[in-house]
Structure 1
């Protein structure tokens, strides 16, 4: 028997006991147990509401810490936890008490879920039917049907409507009635749920009426504040709203206020000016980054002429090898290699192999022209030779390839390996 709608604690008797999943007449300190009581104030997980937690104290002095409560079959609540002190036996008298603060926080979240459901239906129509929910201390999530994302303005209106209902201090009450009577009164039923001949109906003033077996506040004013964090898609035609309630909602807004105050100080503007001012600052930052990138690329390419002049002649083939400034990115290194290759007459075989180090890891780009490839020199093979020395790998096309490794100290050896292969092949 569940007594938790009206009692948060009470006398009970242990009528069933499992130890580590096996039926047992007794359990001792440290055992993981599953306990069945003849009556309980603990709410078993169901209807989107998570289970109560708390303690079961036997008259013998034994204590069970309850972490979870499940209902494997209707009417049977299984309390899962561990024995903290003493010995638990079947038939023992006990006193069960739930974590009251936690229950009340969950109840606030559950009542807020009902308000959110009704406010969404008012805004979007009956198609915004509940598709699932989860009520936890201080927060909840609510799933509902919608083919499209909910506009931010609509979400703001829904949040405002919910908080207006809180301020109206509407009474919340529950009543068990025949299901036909519940339908006649317009109570909303959750899609996919199976109901018996009699159902429990939770009514929130003149605002909301739903079939529900969960626990709730007595008055909407007890919620204090509801803050919708946003909505997102979780599947085809199903959206999810996540929200905070009461103190959790207040703490969230307090943190946001602190951030806004800090931004005001940084940009020297009023709250309503922040979006425009920050957008302008980001635009300037992007322009500056483009200028820096352009300058850096130009500086890299300035080395091209000197590299061409440093080319070694290997039986008529121009071989350019060397290192460039650490931190030069792969794209800039590739541009430099191709620029150097382009400065060498096309009728002269040419191989350009340049190396750099980025974030502590060596990188190389090697290019060959058509005349060099006719001599059997392919960029991909040259890169693999270099990368092997560097402790990595690489590859690419015969005309240009890229590779890297793990050992920046081996760059000199990699250059020498490429030069040897060129000399042998040319």
Structure 2
């Protein structure tokens, strides 16, 4: 049989079709009756019946978010572990939606690779599908593109987009944030999906090996998909939280050490269900005088901030309204030991670290003071550590301005709003 000219150029359509067949069951498992069968469209687009969500809403708003995993995909490639990186993609996309009280509806993904290895592509999408199922989001479609000559044989990149809905009167954000609000931090599962260019530079510059065993005081978080590789006695969450297991990995099950590579590949924690549950609980509470107009409801959950690129202060500042000032106490939570390890090995100063990594806080909730206990209990029930890390005020306290190592950040990510002051000393 004569080989197809397209195949001779490096694109294997048959391998792509096989990958689709291998992932089909995982994708379909995320879909309910609101997702229309591809038989109706030929699969060129995913269809979602909006009547399932819009009913009962006063003013439904559609929202969308898109993101990728960044250079963390290179680590997945090097370790040969592909079924956890999908959690990172869903975390980066869906949890951005969640910050405004938006319920995720459906998601699509895009994978570009140098060569389609069906089993590898199916493993990647399997992770995306499992994460989508965990946050209640349908995976309605995607694309796998083979780019020979542009990407190496085993190289790949991935991105995704999600759409959600929120009733306008329940939209969360800076308009709800008030002086006196408390800032509750939710523990991260590790690096999540930001700052990997710096991590990779540290590893390269210092001659480190991804397979190097980490010191015993650096432990996998509870629920880690890699915990069974290092023995149950070593599994512990240094940030007082957990992440949902992603199932088996394609790595060598005989490995016994918790390595630098595994610690850095820990999947991003998913906060969507926790945040939406809190928003629902807060919205059902009796209104309290003076905080909101009728149009804004009486929700005691006012805003969430997803701690991604730029670190805690830069992302928190996005939801602090102009004229208000948030003060965060660095000593309020324990920073996971992995961050200190990377800072020491790479000679990374504190400012660079807190402007790059989450340092143990992956999501923050800004809530009315009488809702703090509810938020902490809900997080504990979800297996996620939570603690009050700061407060919103009318202005920065004078003591904060003069204290050593105090930093104030404002006007980040193109959003003109309030300011955030970091003070105190981290607990490494």
Q: Under a length normalisation based on structure 1, what TM-score does the superposition of the two structures give?
A: 0.23
Of the two, which has the highest radius of gyration?
1
Higher RCO, 1 or 2 (CA under 8 Å, sep at least 6)?
Answer: 2
Q: Under a length normalisation based on structure 2, what TM-score does the superposition of the two structures give?
A: 0.23
Which structure has more strand as a fraction of its residues?
Answer: 1
